[in-house]
Amino acid sequence: MSNIKIYAFADEAGQDLNTQISAMKRTGIDGLEIRAINGMNVKDISNYRAKEIKKAMDDNGLEIWSLGSPMGKISIKDNFYPHLDNYRRLLEINEILGAKAIRLFSFYMPKDEDPTIYRDEVIERLNKFVEVAKDSGILVCHENEKGIYGDNAQRCLDIIENVKGLHGIFDPANFIQCNQDTMEAWEMLKEHISYM
């Protein structure tokens, strides 16, 4: 088990980068799943700020493992193309940050509607995310989340099996919120999970 590394959303320890770095070092965390710095999501930082963050992390011997992006956290009925432009910008920022993975989601479903109605649109959009990132070297990873298409194990499996090049993230707490048995989900998805 010595090859296991632990990364964190350090914005839960504090908003500014110095507080986040201090918390990671104090707790023995290997690095960061970067989500927000000073209340600003990673997708909105400038290239200059990205260089500052990368240098500070390198100077402290810490990695940036993943981009904790909000990609796919829009309604399936929202216009996808401005969102895809934000995704492209995030991949540009990552050329500086050097994260190995990016997490994304499979779009919020309209309440009181059967999510399977939107299945083909979800698959098409996720395929577009993977296609846009294909030359970046980054792992494109889907996280299960309450209220999105991939909020239960069966639909997560459907996504992974039908979006070539997409990897899985396993969040047991999110499955619990959706009344999904976590062990059943693990058995169904474990071959496709890149991180938890």
Q: Cβ(97)–Cβ(129) under 8 Å?
A: no
DSSP 148: B
Rounded-to-integer distance, Cα 90 and Cα 97, Å? 10
| Mean pLDDT taken over the chain | 95
Q: Which residues contact 14 (CB under 8 A, 6 or more apart)?
A: 20, 22, 23
List pLDDT tens digits, range 117-147.
Answer: 999 999 999 999 999 999 999 999 999 999 9
Q: How many CB atoms lie within 10 A of CB 172?
A: 14
Q: Cβ(144)–Cβ(156) under 8 Å?
A: yes
Rounded-to-integer distance, Cα 192 and Cα 173, Å? 18
List pLDDT tens digits, range 64-108.
Answer: 999 999 999 999 999 999 999 999 999 999 999 999 999 999 999
* pTM exceeds 0.95, yes or no: no
